[in-house]
Amino acid sequence: MRRPGTTTTALACVVVLAACGGGTDDDAAAPAPSSSSPAEDVNPVIDDDFPDPDVLEVDGTYYAYGTNGNLRNVRVARSTDLEEWELLEDALPDLPRWVIPGKTWAPEVTELDDGSYALYFTATNYDPYAQCVGVATADAPEGPFTVVGEEMLVCPQEQGGAIDASTFTDTDGTRYLLWKNDGNAVGVDTWLHLAPLAPDGLSLTGEPERLLKQDQDWEGHLVEAPTLVERDGTYVLLYSANDYGGEQYAVGYATADAVAGPYTKADEPLLTTDATDGRFIGPGGQDVVTAPDGTDRLVFHSWYGDTSYRGVNVLPLEWDDGRPVVVVP
């Protein structure tokens, strides 16, 4: 679960191939992790408690958004190179009366067609008492955002609520919202869901599709934090799984030929504590962003300070026939 856990930077560049096996016998065997070409590792790029990072690029400037902390409901930072970051003021300074303060988690910001911005956030309702996904809007990527409406956008109470919203725009321009039902809070399965969004980003225009749930040993009792990208005609759904509070938390992925699936999970997780020899403890809450040089980066949090806070890391992300490969120190 994306829960509360500030700013320096850099890119690490020693290649470690994350396990990239598929879920069928026809898939290529997963390559064993390997390393080469040592380079300076200056992660964490945000050396402060900044969990569940979401990164948005606007006209050459990057904005990172994180779970509440340091008396801010939604943390936000700004960079031009994904390396040096400036912490800004609260992106969501005012919460509606129907939201319990201090529990605004896992923000996601996207730019809309009219040039405005939508912020999707996880918060806890007073009534019904559940974690759910709300939406706010602003004219600038740093905010301030204003919550829209008098209730949450997605709140399936019987499924435990909804958390960890993210957005995806398909090649045909259709916008989608993804989230996790918080089933582990009420003793039911956790699923990653997808539903089409209205062009204004303020409502769903179709029924949710279930994409995948926890069913591999390494995932423990939950999957969460969906991130959907499309590369070379393949839809790649990255996600985090297991208990966020320690080294068992990790990043996995699944692939599909269509946006709604079916998705086939890789045989092994993409990024783990063990695969990085303990360099990144409990990696998760990931996002994918294109760097200034045109190549992809994986942005994620991991534990620092003897697991007292979660800083932000940035690593190169390569692709092997539609499958992600993380470059780690």
CA distance 327 to 316: 5
Q: How does 60-86 read in b/e, with b if 16+ C-beta sit within 10 Å?
A: eebbbbbbbbeebbbbbbbbebbbebe
219 vs 106: CA distance, rounded Å: 19
164, 182, 224, 287: the catalytic one is 224
Q: Which residues pair with 63 in a beta bridge?
A: 56, 78
Q: Could you give the CA distance from residue 307 to residue 204 in angstroms, rounded to a whole number?
A: 38
- Nearest alpha carbon to residue 54 among 114, 105, 127: 105
Order of all β-strands in the sheet with 162-169: 162-169, 175-181, 191-196, 209-213
224 included as an active-site residue: yes
Catalytic residue among 47, 49, 52, 182: 52
Angstrom distances, CA of residue 328 to CA of 18, 96, 253: 9, 41, 17
- Which residues form the catalytic set? 52, 224
